[in-house]
Amino acid sequence: MELALVVVVVAFALGFDYTNGFHDAANAIATSVSTRALTPRAALLMAAVFNFVGALLGTQVAETIARDIVAIDDASAHRGLVIVLCGLIGAITWNLITWWFGLPSSSTHALIGGLVGVGIASGITVYWNAVVEKVVIPMVVSPLVGFGLAFALMVAVLWIFRKAAPARAFRRFRIAQTASAAAMALGHGLQDAQKTMGVIVLALVAGGYHTGNGIPLWVKLSAAAAISAGTYAGGWRIMRTLGRRIIELDPARGFVAESIAALVLYTNAFVFHAPVSTTHTITSAIMGVGATKRLSAVRWGVAKNIGFAWVLTIPAAGFVAAVMYWVISPFLV
């Protein structure tokens, strides 16, 4: 019975990874597509490839998800697997809801919210200190840093190229956006695919099929493949929001937003081992470069709706996960 449940949980984890890919595909390519630096299909293919590569570059974020959010070893093997399954259902449900409405919410925080919600409902230990230090604080700080750095770098770019012919400068920035979009896709794989790896390891530990400290190679490859497939499937609703509805981007602003967002993702993954949201990071960077035109250039009404989805993500995914546990635990636990 445990083996069958492990297989189900792993399948749901990879399903979450797939929804993460098409939900967050816009993170890497929306700015490049909207400025015509890349065609949509070429951008999706590039993003899928670099998502796969990025997923294999490290395991620090995966280990944070697997060990620092909830204490799955507090529960029996069977109950632990049900807990992980309910957390995944909560995350997937919120991903699909926000995708339907075209809101770039965080798959990262949906997953963490699902785990925390089911952790509370089931009575296992939730590591609140780690949640605050590695989730809540980066959730607040990363968008602020992304906004501030993007604004500052864009001001510098405008000053450096103040005498350049706009057509020639934009043509060069379109070429540069190929590199910045690739860097963003690499950072997305580095951050988001690792979260699925962490959940799969959590399930393997709960089922008694993994006792070591590393991430098995098959887990890395399957998570990388799932998020790449989801990315190639695309997320057109959210792409429209990021690429056009927040602000009309030009190639220079697209390049700066992607470069700063990628930098924030790499820093959090390699230095702080924090599972930050690629969605929050790129969206705040887009707002930062947009604000250099004038504050009114940013469509703050759209930004307010996005912010509302950000705040709601952790508790909403947690609520769905908790309800799922209360509903199915009498039959499965």
Q: What does the pLDDT profile of the chain (333 residues) look like in tens digits?
A: 688 999 999 999 999 999 888 777 666 677 787 778 888 778 888 888 998 999 999 888 988 998 899 998 878 888 999 999 999 999 999 888 887 877 767 888 899 999 999 999 999 999 999 999 988 898 889 888 999 999 999 999 999 999 999 889 999 999 999 899 899 989 989 988 898 999 999 999 888 888 777 899 999 999 999 999 988 876 665 555 554 555 567 899 999 999 999 999 999 999 888 888 887 888 889 889 988 987 666 666 656 766 777 788 999 999 999 999 999 888 766
Q: Which DSSP helix (H) or strand (E) runs through 321?
A: helix 300-332
| 169: three-class secondary structure by DSSP | helix
Residues 6+ apart with CB under 8 A from 314: 109, 110, 112, 113, 116, 135
**Per-residue pLDDT tens over the stretch 169-213:** 999 999 999 899 899 989 989 988 898 999 999 999 888 888 777
- Neighbouring CB atoms inside 10 A of 250's CB total 18
Q: 28 and 235 in contact (C-beta within 8 Å)?
A: no
Vertex 120 angle, CA 143 and 310, to 5°? 20
Q: Which residue has the tokens 């790449």?
A: 228
**Per-residue pLDDT tens over the stretch 52-75:** 999 999 888 988 998 899 998 878
Separation of alpha carbons 30 and 183, rounded Å? 14
